[in-house]
Amino acid sequence: MTFTFLGFKRAMTSNMAAFCLVLSGMSISSSGFANYLTHPQSSEFIDQMVDDHGFERQQLERWLASAKKKQSILDAISRPAEKRLTWSGYSKIFIKPARIAKGKSFMEAYAAELSRAEEKYGVPREIITAIIGVETRYGENKGSYRVIDALSTLGFDYPPRSKFFRKELGQVLLLAREQGFDPLVLKGSYAGAMGYGQFIPSSYRHYAVDFDGDAIADILDNPIDAIGSVANYFARHKWKAGEGVAFEATFDTNEYKALIHKGLKPKFTMADMQSVGLQNAIDIPDSDAAKIQILKGDNGEELWVTQHNFYVITRYNHSHLYAMAVYQLAKALGLDS
């Protein structure tokens, strides 16, 4: 059994109960560390949580000793569907008759709550429902990974984004303390996202709302709070009520290619689109932000002009495929813009 001197020294300074837990919970990971308490970077993380947020060191050591590295998480984050698939393949995951039918049933079941969210936050009920539908099939699949395993694995053993996920690990411990959760039993996605709308811990802390008046912001098991929280998230990210999202476009010349750019945020305006031969007769102000998006569909390339609200959807998941799936599911649920 591999047991580093650093991990041994820390364990010896804790009380005997914590030390025994470290010993009994060990399973050697492929990186050579017995558990995340013995990881070289855990000491800095623990010190920060103690100094900045007043956590008890012994408690933090117990949690990290319980956290397990999951190779399946590292495998999953290295091949997300948004990077592996074209629109043709990606759309088939989400724009299905069964998911549309379940979405309509969800809208019927929570019609009053969706109406109230739409009125308060200005976000269409179809967009709110589509987010929950894309994320968890309306709560049917909220994730099976322990959040502490997911965030520890990515925070300590995924160098490309370790800083981000280690911050989220701290956020979930803060969330657990605030909400009275046990961080060892919280479950979610391979990236540590939780609940109906799959909020990462920092988003849970900043955007989750109590929408049913019981003084608890529960997006894990309460679809009403999830509805209000998704709407609040979009409102806080500057969703523009009454404006469109995207439309399939036709240009009468190839000059539009000069306006194609990387990134998700629109750099041009509708006036720019008109100047390169946009044929669609769309009643949108010339000054509105616009971006040309090319999708590889079943029948070849599709040209779309996406607007500010499309960009807002990408604040939820930084992918144009994701945003288009949400938009088209929302359209199938009755969105008329």
The ranges assigned to domains in the chain are 1-66, 246-306
> Can 135 be counted among the known catalytic residues?
yes
Bridge partner list, 291: 306
Q: How confident is the model at residue 35 (pLDDT cuts 50, 70, 90)?
A: confident
Q: Which of 334, 330, 325 is nearest to 92 (CA)?
A: 325
Q: Could you read off the pLDDT of 89-138 as tens digits, one per residue? A: 999 999 999 999 999 999 999 999 999 999 999 999 999 999 999 999 99
Alpha helix segments (H runs only) across 146-222:
147-157, 162-179, 201-207
Sign of the CA dihedral with 48 first, then 64, 146, and 324 last: positive
Count the Cβ atoms, other than its own, within 10 Å of residue 229: 27
For 214, the 3-state DSSP assignment is coil
How many whole angstroms separate alpha carbon 143 and alpha carbon 74? 16
Q: What percent of the chain has pLDDT over 70?
A: 90
**Does residue 29 carry a pLDDT above 80?**
no
Q: What percent of the chain has pLDDT over 90?
A: 86
From 135, 255, 301, 302, the catalytic residue: 135
Q: How confident is the model at residue 329 (pLDDT cuts 50, 70, 90)?
A: very high
pTM for this model (two decimals): 0.88
How many whole angstroms separate alpha carbon 206 and alpha carbon 137? 24
**Angle separating helix axes 320-332 and 87-94, nearest 10 degrees:** 40
Task: Give, as one character, the DSSP assignment of residue 292.
Answer: E
How many whole angstroms separate alpha carbon 157 and alpha carbon 67? 12
Q: How confident is the model at residue 266 (pLDDT cuts 50, 70, 90)?
A: very high
